[in-house]
Amino acid sequence: MIFQFILAQAQPALEKGAQKISRGLPREVQRFLEFDLLKIKNYQITVFDVLLILLLIVVARLLVWVFSKILRQGFFRRKQVDQGRQEAVIQLIKYFIYVLVIIFGLEVIGVQLSLLLAGSAALLVGVGLGLQQTFNDLVSGLILLFEGSINIGDIVELDNGLVGRVTDIGLRTSKLETRDSIGLIVPNSKFINDNIINWSHNRSLTRFIITVRVAYKHDPRQVEALLLAAAQTHAEVAQNPPVTVRLMDFGESGMHYELLFWTYSAWRIEYVKSEIRFELIEKFRENSIEIPYNQFDLNLKQGWEGFVEKWQEKKSDL
């Protein structure tokens, strides 16, 4: 209804403007503009129609650029709107303008949208059933743009454990870039229906954990001090909240510790953890702290002598 009202108001003005322009042109130019490029029954596409459609596309792109400039340098700056919401609003304006251009283009070539929709109702039902997942992605994209739960620049972890930075939020799909600089195209419905971890949602510190196993013979308090020192000296680890250590369990071959620290560097966290582990290895070697490996006891029913005899018999058979 809104689009029909806009068309009803704009189409007469466009026709009058086109007639005024054509009257002032030479007859040869008028004939060229009225030349039929395509004619099917009552529908025809002239050179003028094609030029008008191209003009509409140029005007649409110009409008998108103007609105983007005005909003970015004016409203968004005054209201201190974050980058993600800026992109969401501009994306919605872009879609609205492009939909208007498509509708205007159809009207220019003589296609009546109301008749087209009425005549293809049954076809649209079949298409709707076949493209159910696509429509689900489209609706999810609108929810993301309006709700703002995921914005451009956010670091998200998908349900399969893959971590990436959001680089673009489209109407049907969104683009992610992994830590390996690999681009991913993710349907928007996954962000709505699946459990997604948004590491950047609160724009604050995030806590991470490094697990360490140490042999039983070492003093737990000494191990705790070394773990704290390794994390506290790292430049990207926050001092407040402080770094903590937990003794989590008594394993088969050693005690299990957890090193908990807070950082703003969620995107580089794998590198941060790696650097802390390198520092831990150096401190453990300096203090003769042993990281245990699984040990197994071998029980021989006949003793070593019987084992040696059987081994020698096998060697002689070979």
Residue 300 confidence (pLDDT) above 90: no
| Domain layout of the chain by residue ranges | 2-119, 149-198, 206-286
Question: How far is Cα 297 from Cα 307, in angstroms, rounded to an integer?
Answer: 16
CATH code linked to domain 206-286? 3.30.70.100
- The distance of Cα 113 from the centroid of its chain, to the nearest Å, equals 35
Look at residue 18 in the predicted model and tell me its pLDDT: 57
Question: How far is Cα 157 from Cα 165, in angstroms, rounded to an integer?
Answer: 9
Look at residue 202 in the predicted model and tell me its pLDDT: 55
Top pLDDT among 18 and 3 is at 18
Residue 133 confidence (pLDDT) above 70: yes
Q: Tell me the β-bridge partners of 256.
A: 213, 249
CB contact at 8 A, 172 and 186: no
Mean pLDDT of 288-310: 72
Residue range 144-196, pLDDT digits in tens: 877 777 888 888 888 888 889 888 888 788 899 988 889 999 998 888 888 88
Angle between helices 47-70 and 2-23 (to 10 degrees): 120
Residue 316 confidence (pLDDT) above 90: no
Of 8-17, 45-54, 119-128, 267-276, highest mean pLDDT = 267-276
Look at residue 17 in the predicted model and tell me its pLDDT: 59
Of 88-102, 188-202, 260-274, highest mean pLDDT = 260-274
The tokens describing 236, both together, are 């990207």
**Positions of E strands within 158-281:** 163-169, 173-178, 183-187, 197-198, 206-214, 244-250, 255-263
Give alpha helix (H) positions in 131-187: 132-147
Of 128-142, 177-191, 296-310, highest mean pLDDT = 177-191
Question: How far is Cα 109 from Cα 279, in angstroms, rounded to an integer?
Answer: 70
Q: For residue 60, report the phi and psi dihedrals to the nearest 5 degrees.
A: -65, -45
Question: How far is Cα 169 from Cα 144, in angstroms, rounded to an integer?
Answer: 8
Tokens 């939909």 -> residue:
99
CB contact at 8 A, 222 and 252: no
Residue 130 confidence (pLDDT) above 90: no
Q: Tell me the β-bridge partners of 261.
A: 208
Mean pLDDT of 22-34: 65
Per DSSP, the three-state class of 309 is helix
Question: How far is Cα 273 from Cα 214, in angstroms, rounded to an integer?
Answer: 18
**CATH fit for domain 149-198, picks 3.40.50.970, 2.30.30.60, 3.40.50.620, 3.20.20.70:** 2.30.30.60
Residue 54 confidence (pLDDT) above 90: no
Q: Are strands 163-169 and 155-157 parallel, antiparallel or unpaired?
A: antiparallel
Look at residue 1 in the predicted model and tell me its pLDDT: 47
Angle between helices 83-108 and 47-70 (to 10 degrees): 160
Mean pLDDT of 90-102: 83
Question: How far is Cα 99 from Cα 113, in angstroms, rounded to an integer?
Answer: 13
Indicate whether this model's pTM tops 0.95.
no
Q: How confident is the model at residue 249 (pLDDT cuts 50, 70, 90)?
A: very high
